[in-house]
Amino acid sequence: MLSETDRKLLRVAYDEALAGYEEGGCPIGSALARGDELIARGRNQRVQQGDPIAHGEMDCLRKAGRQTSYRDMTLYTSLSPCMMCTGTIIQFGIPRVVIGENQTFEGNIDFLRERGVEVVLVQDPDCIALMTRFIREKPALWNEDIAEE
């Protein structure tokens, strides 16, 4: 069950995704929080910065700066994380991830759960609609983002 804080912070991730879409990039957003305190927010910046590693979760974590621990944080992401972002979540010991949707990209939810991460999958209609629109409008850019031909 989503708390009011979860709903609010998932919306922050969605708003970041929408901003990325409006900038011509991949619409994937993220937020990092300790309880109800927003630590950082970010979005996929691959197109905007020409950086192949600047996925939404990675941008958010960069903006969070150095943390002594992530073990009391939740990462919110509009889309199920790829393997690179999944590995970073595990490496940093982030114990909880709230995912907007995995209908357009399955991601690595099982891998996260197998490693003890609590995963909350929302299937948010706004997240689904935005990614569906993006994939329809820019399939080549989407395939580049997920490293598929």
Least Cα distance to 38 among 2, 58, 11 occurs for 11
Active-site residue, selected from the candidate residues 22, 57, 106, 149: 57
Give the span between the Cα atoms of 36 and 33, in whole angstroms: 6
Q: Which residue has the tokens 């020409």?
A: 50
The question of whether 57 is a catalytic residue gets the answer: yes
**DSSP element (H, E) containing 142:** helix 139-145
Task: List active site positions.
Answer: 57
